[in-house]
Structure 1
Amino acid sequence: MGTHASGIWWRPDRLAWWTGVLFAVGSVLFLVPGIAALGSSADWISVAFFAGSIGFTSAALLQLVAASEVPHRGRPSHERRRLRPRAWLPQRIDWLAASIQFPGTVLFNINTFDAMSKALSTSQMDIRVWGPDMIGSGCFLVASLLAFANSEHRWLSFRPRDPDWQIAAVNLAGSIAFGVSAVAAFVRPSTGAALNDALANGGTAVGALCFLVGALLLLPQADRQQRAPRGAAPSG
């Protein structure tokens, strides 16, 4: 029993496992500085945010690759063609969500990198930091909405005992928190101050915590996919 339990949490042979690990790393690197920023403006905070954005982008890329592979997973190994991360599958909701989320993470790379600069004017902060943050958060929200709807094939559902629903629901909550944070982070041109620093940093921390929970829930999903009957469509 102990061996099986360890196998649930240790599946480095599965893309879903690596996706969960990288999302967890990115989430921690947003959660810790998000909390710290509530009472500090130390330089390491912006560096940690940028490092976390790299984790998110890496995980989102793997998720996009996995979504591109879905139509071929049910085939025998000798019939599968080489993985093509550039596949165009807009008819698949999981691929569509992943393809929207990935550029959102790239925008987080841009805004967190620019946020490390101390020489930006108010207008530059809004254009180079807040703008990508707002658009990236919008991408996360749309992707999370699609993933949530896809988890039960309906826009509204409540299946708290379903692991796929749990992951989709907690990620949707995280995306909403990130969206609130992005709105609150807008820098007023007249004062040079954010609309609400506490809400901006608090929303980031809450969103990161939600994404961390979702990432941890994703780890055992790799084991579930491996044990699924051959030919069954994988979830997530």
Structure 2
Amino acid sequence: MAEPTTERIWSPTPTHQCWAFIIGSALFALGSVPKLGETLGVDAINICYFVGAWFFTTGGFIQLHLSGPRSTDGPDGRPTLRVDWLTAATQFVGTLAFNVSTTFALTADTVTEIQRRVWTPDAGGSVLFLASGVCAVVGYRGPHRLWAPRVREWWSIMINLAGCIAFGVSAVAAFVTPYGVTVAAVLATSATLVGALCFLVASAIMLGPSRSEVPTTG
């Protein structure tokens, strides 16, 4: 008797991962366009962030799924965490933090919450994204040179790290003092835009069937 076969309804790929991050980044960038909130309204802007965060979470989940096993045997035979898995896991948890904060921003009702109702990257998610970006750099340095500008993966990792730093700047600038004053509202929005564009470019660079080197001219 033949063995029953099962087929996956959907098998995620790196291309799916890239497109999820690209769409999420585009929505984040749209929500951060200066003065757009005055035209579309606060709720429309926060919907952009809310939906974008779910695309980020989808991309993060795919990345975690594709990252492979959590650990490998170290030189001494003991299990050692793999950097690829740690990078993906840290970023995925960071996207979940953004899901929570974008939901709060979208559903804020009280006067105190309204003062900071337009979403900006929260501290928890930003720290996790930054940790993920650093892990990616450390992991890349292992099998490759730290300076490899001809390789598109290197560009993707470094631009992603720049985006993580920008989100961290935004989180600090968006801090609300006990007097209800935002530290630097314009900087918070601008840094969110820069970070979103960095994530978009970092993902777009990796679109394609292979991690080939970036062609040079001349």
TM-score in terms of structure 1 length: 0.73
**Aligned match for 2:105, one of 104, 115, 118:** 115
Equivalent position of 2:176 in the other structure: 187
Indicate the SS of the match to 2:102.
helix
After superposition, the C-alpha distances for 1:108-150 in whole angstroms (9 at most, x for unaligned) are 0000111013423537988xx77x8111010000001010121
Contact kept, 8 Å, 1:38 with 1:202, in 2: the verdict is: no
Question: 2: CA distance between counterparts of 1:47 and 1:97?
Answer: 28
TM-fit CA distance, 1:210: 0.2
**Aligned match for 1:213, one of 169, 187, 201:** 201
Equivalent position of 1:63 in the other structure: 63
Contact kept, 8 Å, 1:53 with 1:105, in 2: the verdict is: yes
Identity across aligned pairs (percent)?
36
Q: Report the number of matched residues.
A: 192
CA RMSD, Structure 1 to Structure 2 (Å): 2.9
Contact kept, 8 Å, 1:98 with 1:143, in 2: the verdict is: yes
After superposition, the C-alpha distances for 1:170-189 in whole angstroms (9 at most, x for unaligned) are 00000000000011111122
TM-fit CA distance, 1:195: 0.9
Question: 1: CA distance between counterparts of 2:35 and 2:91?
Answer: 25
Question: 1: CA distance between counterparts of 2:92 and 2:30?
Answer: 23
Equivalent position of 1:16 in the other structure: 14
| Structure with bigger RCO (C-alpha 8 Å, 6+ apart) | 1
TM-fit CA distance, 1:37: 5.2
Contact kept, 8 Å, 1:61 with 1:102, in 2: the verdict is: yes
Question: 1: CA distance between counterparts of 2:90 and 2:114?
Answer: 26
Unaligned runs of 5+ in 1: 1-11, 72-88, 228-236
Question: 1: CA distance between counterparts of 2:182 and 2:145?
Answer: 34
Equivalent position of 2:76 in the other structure: none
Indicate the SS of the match to 1:202.
helix
Contact kept, 8 Å, 2:84 with 2:139, in 1: the verdict is: yes
Give the letter aligned to residue 195 of structure 2. G
Equivalent position of 1:50 in the other structure: 50
Q: Report the CA distance shift for 1:90/1:31 in structure 2 as closer, same or farther (over 3 A).
A: farther
Equivalent position of 1:224 in the other structure: 210
Contact kept, 8 Å, 1:100 with 1:139, in 2: the verdict is: yes
Matches within 5 A, 1:1-236: 15-36=13-34, 40=38, 41-68=41-68, 91-122=81-112, 133-153=122-142, 157-190=146-179, 192-220=180-208, 223-224=209-210
TM-fit CA distance, 1:36: 4.0
Unaligned runs of 5+ in 2: 1-9, 72-78, 213-218
TM-score in terms of structure 2 length: 0.78
Q: Report the CA distance shift for 1:144/1:156 in structure 2 as closer, same or farther (over 3 A).
A: farther
Question: 2: CA distance between counterparts of 1:193 and 1:163?
Answer: 42
